[in-house]
Amino acid sequence: MDKVVGVELSHRFAPISVRERLALNTEQTKTAIQELKKSFKEVFIISTCNRLSIYAFGKSHNPILEYFDTFGNYRQYLSILPDSEIAIKNLFSTAAGLESQAIGEHQIIGQIRDALDLGREEKTIGPVLDELIRQSIHTGKKVRQETNIGKFSASLATVGFELIHNHGIKLEDSTFLIIGTGNMANLVTTVLDRSSIKKLYVASHDDERANQMAEEWNGEAVNMQNMHQALSEANIIVGGTQGEINLLHEETMAESKCPRANFALEAGDKKLFIDFGVPRNFNPDLKNHNNIALYDLDDIKKITYDGLLKRYNEIPQARQIVNEEVTWFATWLKNRKVAPVIEAYWNNLEEIRDEEIKWLLPKLGNIDEHQKEVLMRFTHRLLRKISNPTIDGIKNIAQNLHEQENPINTAKHILDVDNVDIFVPKKKIIVGTRGSKLALTQTNWIVEQLKNLQPDYEFETKIIRTSGDDGDISVVGAFTSALQRTMLAGEIDIAIHSYKDIPTEEVNGLRVIPVTERKDARDVFISKSGQSFKEIAAGSIIGTGSLRRSTQLKQLRPDLNYEFIQGNVDSRIHQMETGKYDAIILAATGLQKMNMIDVATEIFDLETVVPAVGQAILGIELIDKEGYIYDLVKKLRHEPTKHAADAERAFLIALGGGCNLPIAAYATVDDDNIDITGVFANEDGSIFTKNNITGNVADRKALAQELAMQLKAEVETKKEQLANVTIK
């Protein structure tokens, strides 16, 4: 079934160095939407300095991901919008200014309108996206009208003006060089509205446009290829063109013989560069020169934080408006599915009315045109009042097209419009998931497998926020309990979990099926320096959220400091790059699913670091009863993986389940044989045991329990020996 889908690269997850590589100018955007039109009924693209967002109406977001792959491996930076409600909410939030660097800024509405105009021009916009985009613009305006989110100015123009002011530059004594005439118009207008300046130069790829704007602003136009004189005069240079200008962008400034570059090294006066361009207009190495201050979009993002605090108070009300508009559009989208039935029904009524009017008019005698018009208006009103309950009923059915007996087909028959063909899914399955990029990646993959097995079903993804997402991982089931409660409440049908996150205590009324073949269960070492685990210097700080990992690694490198770290994959890598950690440990499978395995410095073998129970296994949780959902889900079950999961879970339970001690287990199945490796230790790792056991797979749970009891006994024995030595 067709739905609204999308993929977005934005400032939220991608630094400017990545965004500028994927920035599209107008011609590139036209080429892209025409290419994507081959895979979708409708498609449009928002391309700005802070985002590249692609929305489409079709069956899956995968063709958009494949398009992004043509730029290289950037999936780790992408936000996936796999289902209508998620995609609609993202676009409406964007239009409302909730996803902007400067919360509540107005410019994004114009950029969305430009994307709509371009899509219409290229004929890639159809009725669904046309309504979606127009409604998003309406939502953006409504948020700004009904809240104060846009009243505390934080536009790029204002930020630029404040940068100038904060540097103590006297505008009346300053010469400006403005490169680009599009978005820069807002900055120039802001400056000129507030103060007079000494001189203004305007440069553009479009000479005619540069001359026009220079005349409007009482400045002087200069040619893009001959700007060194203006550069040397200017105190303030602002770049805002998306075209390549090679301005101070030589790879090695010191070796450049280009006068446009060398002036920066020789100029005596302080100069302020503000770079709004994507790609960046100025060489970032300019920041290394004492007489130059350079700010790019990522710098501006940091600067604007304090100035945006006032707007944050308006966010809850803004989100409420967005949610209301999302609900309205989701209803409209569902109603649209039955629009052909309603149209055909109304046409039938009008044909009956016209036939009866033909019978009536001769019997009324000599009536004038005005009387005929009144009669037609009366019959139209009558038809409306008679048909409204029926049409409303059809619309209500549209909100749930998955009734067991397909009532829409009954409605078609009752209304005598059986010739209208619409897709009615046999069943609908609502899939619950966490909202992290890794969780969504796993869920989308599972949903694609289920679709392949049952293409006549509709799958809707619903994001559920858990306590683990809010940073509280101390509670049992931090990443699962919220999903389980939602399922028991009947709001979702299945939930996708990383099997290692599922508590050992079963939830009454639910069952978990380990599914799909196990992926790479190894752990990886990522170091800031690029050194391996053996090479990294003694005393280095290693970040890990797992006692299991730190305890095993202490056996190899007790000279390292192992400290707690939490957060998703992106967050932990960012903490390492910007914080106190010299290296971190992560699961290989998460990085592989997000196409980020290339960031790994080293991958540990399974003998060196035994993985967590259930690591690299996915589980589908569902209501514990037979039925079409269970029948479908169990088709994904991979028996060897299930047997391995059973054994590892039995090992964990035998050692106390969720106790706060280092526990690891890894089982492999070969035909009828199973091999289980287990690790158990005290909390600080000073008493450490490790062993394995083999046997028949049918005895997997008993074997796992035997191994657990053996390791537990060894730990107790070592504790007693240590206690005796201490007493002596």
| Cis amide prior to 279 (ω within 30 degrees) | yes
Beta bridge partners of 345: none
620 DSSP assignment: E
Neighbours of 474 (CB within 10 A): 9
Residues near 517 by Cβ (< 8 Å), separated by ≥ 6? 638, 640, 641
From first CA to last CA, the distance across the chain in angstroms is 75
Report d(CA 648, CA 641) in Å as an integer. Answer: 11
Report d(CA 214, CA 180) in Å as an integer. Answer: 11
Residue holding tokens 């062993």?
691
Report d(CA 254, CA 296) in Å as an integer. Answer: 21
Report d(CA 58, CA 99) in Å as an integer. Answer: 24
The 3-state DSSP class for residue 71 equals: coil
Report d(CA 203, CA 245) in Å as an integer. Answer: 11
Report d(CA 259, CA 252) in Å as an integer. Answer: 14
Neighbours of 661 (CB within 10 A): 15
Beta bridge partners of 673: 670, 696
Phi–psi pair at 81, nearest 5 degrees: -120, 80
362 DSSP assignment: G
Q: Among 631, 544, 620, which Cα is nearest to 582's?
A: 544
- Known catalytic residue at 296: no
DSSP collapsed to 3 states, 94-138: HHCCCCCCCCCCCHHHHHHHHHHHHHHHCCCCCHHHHHHHHHHHH
Residue count of the chain: 728
Report d(CA 309, CA 102) in Å as an integer. Answer: 10
Q: Among 8, 86, 13, which Cα is nearest to 48's?
A: 8
Beta bridge partners of 496: 620
Q: Among 547, 529, 534, 522, which Cα is nearest to 583's?
A: 529
Catalytic residue among 296, 469, 493, 501: 501
Question: Dihedral (C-alpha) 224, 230, 232, 238: value to the nearest 10 degrees?
Answer: -70
Q: Which helix (H) or strand (E) holds 494?
A: strand 494-498
Indicate which residues carry an active-site annotation: 501
